[in-house]
Amino acid sequence: IHSFDDDRVMAGNGTIALELLEDLPEVDTVLIPWGGGGLAGGIATALRALKPAVRIYAVEAETGAPLTASLKAGSPQVVDYQPSFVDGIGSKTVFANMLVMAQELLDGSFTASLDEIAAALRLMA
């Protein structure tokens, strides 16, 4: 089983959307970290089915943001990647099928600096 490019993995990740909507039924915008796309794909698929009007964005570390570059270009792009403490997101490229999924389900993506990510982690702690 692939760690993110597998329908069963994404279906399991989709249950996160159920918990999110249970806790925040009026949510209007959801930010999802983008690593390979399996987490975002699962959550976004469930959100689109249950609450179609919600805005869904992927967030990548600026140290490796292939989705943002690929969405802008309309095709998979290879980007520079620098490892950091944010080891669950960021890579050099995006799988073509995951880009198609992102184009269909997401409202967009953006990058966050390592300082912004650290601040968000402190806020959630």
Residue from 100, 11, 106 nearest 1 by CA: 11
pLDDT in tens, 45-79: 999 999 999 999 999 999 999 999 999 999 999 99
Tokens (6 digits) for 45: 């698929």
DSSP state letters, 23-61: H-TT--EEEEE-SSSHHHHHHHHHHHHH-TT-EEEEEEE
Which structural domains are found in the chain, ordered by start?
Answer: 7-124 (3.40.50.1100)
* Whether residue 2 has pLDDT greater than 90: no
32: helix, strand or coil? strand
Percentage of the chain lying above the pLDDT 90 cut:
90
Residue 10 has pLDDT above 90, yes or no: yes
Q: What pLDDT score does 3 carry?
A: 84
Cβ neighbours of 27 (radius 10 Å): 14
Report helix, strand or coil for 101: helix
pLDDT tops 90 at residue 29: yes
Average pLDDT of span 109-124: 95
Tokens representing residue 26 in the block = 């009026």
Q: What is the pLDDT of residue 9?
A: 93
Q: What is the rounded distance in angstroms from the CA atom of residue 22 to the CA atom of residue 94?
A: 31
Q: How confident is the model at residue 5 (pLDDT cuts 50, 70, 90)?
A: confident
The amino acid sitting at 105 is L
Cα 90 to Cα 7: distance, rounded to the nearest angstrom: 21
Q: If you search the block for the tokens 């409202």, which residue do you land on?
A: 107
Write down the residue that tokens 């993995």 correspond to: 9
